[in-house]
Amino acid sequence: MTKFMNNRYLKMDWVRYLLVAILLAVVLPLVFGVLHIDKTWRIGLLFMAVNGCAAFMIGYRVQKTHAAWYHILYLPILFGLMVVVRYADYNYWFVPIYCLLSYLGINTAYERR
């Protein structure tokens, strides 16, 4: 486990944010589908609660670690691609919501001088 955590790629900001986005936008919805969790629970719990909080926290961490601003776009873009592949068109509304929540996280973490 130590060798995995000391991997030079995991120390790069973009790799960490991309892995989190893949987990949230691709892996978790597929796991919910495999477990036959109802569509309303998937939308309510996963898309609104988990991904919404994660988008906010990604924005917060981007500002606190002074990472590049475009890292907040990984989750909405991957989620949008998953909607194209698998979900109904009304799920596109979550893409701008995730962008706005990430931006809100950035502004929350912003320290005024």
- Over residues 85-99, the pLDDT tens digits come to 888 888 889 999 999
Determine contact, residues 63/6, Cβ cutoff 8 Å.
Answer: no
Question: How far is the C-alpha of 109 from the C-alpha of 85, rounded, in Å?
Answer: 34
Question: How far is the C-alpha of 5 from the C-alpha of 88, rounded, in Å?
Answer: 37
On the question of pLDDT at 113 being above 50, the answer is no
Question: How far is the C-alpha of 90 from the C-alpha of 93, rounded, in Å?
Answer: 6
Task: Count CA atoms closer than 13 A to 69's CA, side-chain side.
Answer: 7
Once rounded to an integer, what is the mean pLDDT over residues 60-64? 92
As given in the structure block, the two tokens for residue 20 are 């989190």
pTM (2 d.p.): 0.85
SS3 31: helix
More confident residue, 54 or 7: 54
More confident residue, 109 or 63: 63
Extents of the domains making up the chain? 2-109
The pLDDT of residue 112 is 55
